[in-house]
Amino acid sequence: MRKITTLTEGWRFLKAAIPAAQAVEFAARGEAVTLPHTWNAIDGQDGGNDYHRGTCWYVRELSAEETAGERLFLEVNGAAMTAEVWFNGEKLIRHEGGYSAFRVELTEKLQEKNILAISVNNEDNTTVYPQKADFTFYGGLYRDVKLIAVPAEHFELLKDGTPGIKVTPVVDLEKMTATITVETWHNAQSVDITINGETKTVERCAEFVIENVHLWDGVDDPYLYTATAKLPSGDEVSTRFGCRVFACDPEKGFFLNGRSYPLRGVSRHQDLKGKGNALSYEDHAADMAIIRELGANTLRLAHYQHAQEFYDLCDENGIVVWAEIPYITMHMQNARQNTLDQMRELITQCYNHPCIAVWGLSNEITAASAVNEELLENHRALNELCHRMDKTRLTTMADVFMLEIESPILEIPDINSYNLYFGWYLGELEQTDEFFDEYHAKYPERVIGFSEYGADANPAFHSSHPEKGDYTEEYQALYHEHMLKMIEQRPYLWATHVWNLFDFAADGRDEGGKHGENQKGLVTFDRSLRKDAFYLYKAAWNKTEAFVHLCGKRYVNRCEEETEIKVYSNREEVTLYVDGTKVGSQSGKTVFRFRIPLLGEHLIRAEAGDVSDTMCIRRVSEPDESYLFNKAAASVTNWFDADDIDPSCFSINDTLGEIRQHPQAGAIVDAMMAKGASERGDVADAVKDNPALQRMMGRMTMLSLLKQGGADEESIKQLNRILQGIKK
């Protein structure tokens, strides 16, 4: 029999980089904590990029009852980022990587009194990923720590945190049968393996055939089987598995069990306001409930290995998962081994989860690194490792927007995906459409997806003229309306993932009226508020729960004679009432727009079938300043009236490309940009040397380039005056 004890209570925490002996000596003076725990729950979320990054200690005495058993192992499910386990004064193991589990045997080291001391370190270094990314690198023992007592004959526990059992189902969709290969690792003579009531006694591996197989069929029917393996000693392991077939077609996108199944969903980070990454099972389950409410059928679990409980929830809910390691932003010469270690652990520990469809090799790795032989070799090594360990899944990569589509790195993984932020960080929304059209036309035989896209929104900010960079809830909604349509028109995209389902901690960020948060979430960091864009996707994806949502509920005070009322619904007809009087009905899909006169305070009600939603808005005489994040930028739209601009001459509304075709106008903007570039240094160099980026900028209007570059009102107006003096 196996006895598992979760070590939740009784820990002492010392926020001090001291030697192990001292940590034990001073433990009593440490703070009493329970696991899971992070020391960055507060300072990792409040901005300033000044959260504590160093070595801390967790110390605990193990009782006689806890240490009982023939062989005793310690299991650490998440120690961020590098941990050392000291037991009774001796260092037993060092583990590098904050997101995978590891185990160590304690048996031989047991004494009368047993003191466990674990040091955890999240300092920056050059050997362990991640080191460069916006999300907070929380430190702590933030997942369960367990003791596992097993008999002398037992399943393997040490190798890369293995579950000891590996199940590979291969499905024949024509015959509706599945051949299940079960491999086990143990030190006994034989093992009894059971699936579906059938038991086979073998040395290590067995094969089963399931007739009339019940498929794991995504969100519609995520059926799970269980495989159990038992040794004569009584030690037992079991794992759930699912029988399904994943496939990708460059023209038709993703297939599940032989039918077209476009993967449409979101990304998730593992953290929560006030708690950091020290999440409970209830926190994970609450996130999953929101994902189901949204109607997503896929998740990118970014940017690292998530908790086993969360992959379990994905198995149970039929969510198709992209799993990845934190090989992100910047290649580090001394961390090749770490990428391989983290990938080996990810695959070993997660192999049995039916939800996982692809292994992600890296994220935006060329954002701060050149594509050179070293980078390519690291990717080839990872790709080969994935295929060696897993014959059933594809590999992929999340490419940064400025990575040339001709780059050889795109040929390494089986399929690709791009992170594109046109319409947010740079460029215009439509450039996303053009990007994919170009890619697909040039490489029709390649499978391509959309691994990240999003726009920050602080639900306190509102506008009737939303625009890029204003952080309003309305711009985020518009942005996603565009992307939703763009995606629907391109069925070849094998998967699309909104960045991000939830706002998350990025302690180095200070923008959009919040410190330390990336606000691209469709839902706020504390999960209390769903932004309008959430309901856009819910209207498009949720097929089970009829609903209607009035946008702009928080945009109460409106300074205009007429206002737009926008409704998202998964019904086909929406009727609008103002103060109890019917305004009109509209048939359509997902987005319904009405315009109404604003006289005073109004009660708005939208109805779709037997569901409805209400809100109150009012007319005000002065704009409500509290709705504006950047008050100066917010007025930009009104600087230039279309009538004031002579269309026969150049203006800041022309694209850089158009202007550059005229020698005089081109020389003026080039001189101005060269001046800007000399002030910005290396960033500008990167632009200059990057033809893809140059092309993208060529398509942007001068106005949007200037605003993005932070130009002030006066210089924008001045350039416009100059351009207006030049005939096209």
How does strand 611-619 pair with strand 263-268? unpaired
Tell me which DSSP letter residue 287 carries: H
Name the token pair of 507. Answer: 């302690």
Q: Which is nearer to ligand GCB, 306 or 520 (CB)?
A: 520
Q: Cβ closer to ligand GCB: 78 or 454?
A: 454
What are the residues whose beta carbons fall under 8 Å from the beta carbon of 656, sequence distance 6 or more?
Answer: 669, 697, 698, 699, 700, 701, 702, 705
Nearer to ligand GCB among residue 134 and residue 217 (C-beta): 134
Spatial distance between the Cα atoms of 529 and 629, rounded to a whole number of angstroms = 19
> What phi and psi values does residue 480 have, to the nearest 5 degrees?
-75, -30
The β-bridge relationship of strands 259-260 and 90-96 is: unpaired
Nearest-approach distance from CB 133 to ligand GCB, in angstroms: 5
Q: Which is nearer to ligand GCB, 163 or 459 (CB)?
A: 459
CB of 48 to ligand GCB, least distance (A): 18
Q: How far is the CB of 632 from ligand GCB (least distance, A)?
A: 23
- How far is 514 from 45, CA to CA, in rounded Å? 10
- β 611-619/557-558 pair status: parallel
Residue 315 or 324 having the CB closest to ligand GCB: 324
Find the shortest distance in angstroms from Cβ 418 to ligand GCB.
Answer: 10
Phi, psi of 718 (to 5 degrees): -65, -45
Rounded to a whole number of angstroms, the minimum distance from the CB of residue 363 to ligand GCB is 5
Evaluate the CA torsion angle 213, 214, 220, 226 in order and state its sign.
negative
Helix (H) or strand (E) holding 170: strand 165-172
The widest CA-to-CA distance across the chain, in whole angstroms, is: 91
Smaller CB separation from ligand GCB, 134 or 670: 134
In the complex, least distance from residue 425 CB atom to ligand GCB, rounded to whole angstroms: 7
Contact between 116 and 59 under an 8 Å Cβ cutoff? The reply is yes
Q: Quick one: 87 or 435, whose CB is closer to ligand GCB? A: 435
For residues 474-505, b (16+ Cβ closer than 10 Å) or e, as one string?
A: bbbbbbbbbbbebbeebebbbbbbbbbbbbbb
Q: How far is the CB of 4 from ligand GCB (least distance, A)?
A: 35
Taking the complex as a whole, the smallest distance from the CB of residue 520 to ligand GCB amounts, in Å, to 5
Please answer whether residues 560 and 581 qualify as being in contact, where contact means their C-beta atoms are separated by less than 8 angstroms.
no
C-alpha 106, offset from chain centre: 36
Q: For residues 215 and 426, which CB has a smaller minimum distance to ligand GCB in the complex?
A: 426
Residue 352, token pair as written in the block: 């049995």
DSSP string for 430-494: HHHHHHHHHHHHH-TTS-EEEEE------TT---SS--TTS--HHHHHHHHHHHHHHHHT-TT-S
List beta partners, residue 247: 255
Q: Report d(CA 46, CA 502) in Å as an integer.
A: 16
Nearer to ligand GCB, 72 or 403 (CB): 403
Q: Is the CB of 134 or the CB of 404 nearer to ligand GCB?
A: 134
> Closest approach of Cβ 17 to ligand GCB, in Å?
29
The phi-psi region of residue 55 (left if phi > 0; otherwise alpha if psi is between -120 and 50; otherwise beta) is beta
Residue 97 falls in which region: left (phi positive, over 0), alpha (psi -120 to 50) or beta: left
| Distance (Å, whole) CA 710 – CA 400 | 23
Q: How far is the CB of 500 from ligand GCB (least distance, A)?
A: 7
Interaction site with ligand GCB (CB under 6 A): 133-134, 303, 363-364, 419, 452, 499, 518, 520
Neighbours of 469 (CB within 10 A): 20
CB of 269 to ligand GCB, least distance (A): 8
| Cis amide linkage into residue 36, ω under 30° from 0 | yes
The three-state (H, E, C) secondary structure of 208-244, written as one string: EEECCCCCEEHHHEECCEEEEEECCCCCEEEEEECCC
Active site residues: 364
By C-beta, is 74 or 365 nearer to ligand GCB? 365
**What contacts 540, CB < 8 A, 6 or more positions away?**
264, 295, 484, 488, 570, 590
Q: Which long-range contacts (CB under 8 A, 24 or more apart) does 588-594 make?
A: 590/484, 590/536, 590/539, 590/540, 591/481, 591/536, 591/539, 591/566, 591/567, 592/566, 592/567, 592/568, 593/564, 593/565, 593/566, 593/567, 594/564, 594/565, 594/566, 594/567
